[in-house]
């Protein structure tokens, strides 16, 4: 994980720091995946959180992510905390 990506992410008013995960967005965990090689580790962290949350990445690297193939459970954020794909949370 890049501390510079996390530092940039935390500058957003939408993102809160977290001791358990990389950050929090709308009460859901955020994990960082700077590239596709980091996705497996990011999904493992989200599975520990119950499977729902957000993956944050650099906007310049989005071409490498096929957002339709990302898990339907997780959303996608850019480094500025902008929502690129909403997480689908089941309604209870």
The per-residue pLDDT for range 13-67, each reduced to its tens digit, is: 999 999 999 999 988 999 998 888 888 888 888 888 787 889 998 888 777 776 6
Give the pLDDT of residue 66: 66
Q: Long-range contacts for 66-75 (Cβ within 8 Å, ≥24 apart)?
A: 71/43, 71/46, 73/46, 74/43, 74/46, 75/25, 75/28
Q: Rounded to two decimals, what is the model's pTM?
A: 0.83
Q: pLDDT of 36-48, one tens digit each?
A: 888 888 888 888 8
């Amino acid at each position: 994980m890049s501390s510079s990506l996390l530092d940039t992410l935390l500058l957003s008013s939408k993102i809160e720091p977290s001791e358990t995960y990389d950050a929090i967005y709308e009460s859901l965990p955020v994990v960082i995946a700077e590239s596709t090689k980091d996705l497996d580790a990011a999904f493992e962290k989200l599975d520990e959180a119950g499977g729902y949350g957000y993956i944050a990445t650099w906007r310049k690297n989005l071409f490498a992510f096929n957002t339709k193939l990302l898990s339907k459970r997780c959303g996608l954020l850019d480094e500025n905390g902008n929502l690129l794909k909403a997480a689908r949370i089941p309604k209870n």
